[in-house]
Structure 1
Amino acid sequence: MSEIKIIETSDGSQSLYHEGLNETYHSTHGAITESQHVFIKHGLEFLLNSSKESINILEVGFGTGLNALLALGFANNNQRVHLNYTTLEPYPLDENLIQKLKYHEQLSDQVSKEDFFRFHQCSWGVCHELQPNFKFTKHQTTLQEFETNHQYDLIFYDAFAPSKQAEMWELSLLEKLKSHFGKETVLVTYCARGQFKRDLASIQMKVETLAGPPGKKEMVRGVYRG
Structure 2
Amino acid sequence: MSKEIKIITTEDGSHSLFLPELNETYHSFHGAYRESIHVFMLYGLETWEMRHPGAKPIRIFEVGFGTGLNAWLALVWAEQNKVPVLYHTIEPFPLEESIYSQLNYTEIDQSIMHYKPYFKDLHDAAWNEGVVVSEFFNMKKEKTTLQDVLLYPSDVVFFDAFAPSKQPELWSKEMLDKVVDSMNPEGIFTTYCAMGQLKRDLKSLGMEVETLPGPPGKKEMTRAIKIG
Q: Considering the TM-score relative to the shorter chain, is it more than 0.5?
A: yes
Residue identity over aligned pairs, in percent, reads 49
Match of 1:200 in 2: 202
| C-alpha RMSD of matched pairs (Å) | 1.3
Match of 1:100 in 2: 102
Match of 1:8 in 2: 9
**Structure with greater helix percent:** 2
1:97-153 C-alpha deviation (Å, 9 max, x unpaired): 1111121111442253321111110001121122222111100000100014x2000
Match of 1:142 in 2: 145
Which residue, 176, 187, 190 being the options, matches 1:188? Answer: 190
Quote the offset at 1:3 in angstroms: 1.2
Q: Which runs of 5+ in 2 are unaligned?
A: none
Quote the offset at 1:94 in angstroms: 1.7
Stretches of 4+ aligned residues off by more than 3 angstroms: none
In structure 2, what is the Cα distance between the partners aligned to 1:220 and 1:26?
Answer: 16
Give 1:72-221 correspondences, 5 Å limit: 72-79=75-82, 81-110=83-112, 111-148=114-151, 150-221=152-223
Match of 2:66 in 1: 63
In structure 1, what is the Cα distance between the partners aligned to 2:46 and 2:37?
Answer: 10
1:179 counterpart SS class: helix
Quote the offset at 1:160 in angstroms: 0.2
- Answering whether residue 42 of structure 2 is matched by residue 41 of structure 1, we say yes
The TM-score, its normalising length taken from structure 2, stands at 0.95
In structure 1, what is the Cα distance between the partners aligned to 2:180 and 2:31?
Answer: 30
In structure 1, what is the Cα distance between the partners aligned to 2:45 and 2:163?
Answer: 22
Q: Which runs of 5+ in 1 are unaligned?
A: none
In structure 2, what is the Cα distance between the partners aligned to 1:21 and 1:32?
Answer: 22
In structure 2, what is the Cα distance between the partners aligned to 1:109 and 1:115?
Answer: 15
Quote the offset at 1:164 in angstroms: 0.8
In structure 2, what is the Cα distance between the partners aligned to 1:178 and 1:216?
Answer: 25
In structure 1, what is the Cα distance between the partners aligned to 2:110 and 2:129?
Answer: 27
1:35-70 C-alpha deviation (Å, 9 max, x unpaired): 000000000110111113321000000000000011
In structure 1, what is the Cα distance between the partners aligned to 2:46 and 2:178?
Answer: 26
In structure 2, what is the Cα distance between the partners aligned to 1:163 and 1:215?
Answer: 19
In structure 2, what is the Cα distance between the partners aligned to 1:182 and 1:157?
Answer: 16
Pairs aligned (count): 224
Contact 2:75 2:136 in 1 (8 A): no
Contact 2:180 2:226 in 1 (8 A): no
Q: Which AA in structure 2 matches 1:72?
A: L
Quote the offset at 1:178 in angstroms: 2.2
Q: Is the deviation greater in 134-143 or in 105-114?
A: 105-114
In structure 2, what is the Cα distance between the partners aligned to 1:178 and 1:217?
Answer: 25
The TM-score, its normalising length taken from structure 1, stands at 0.95
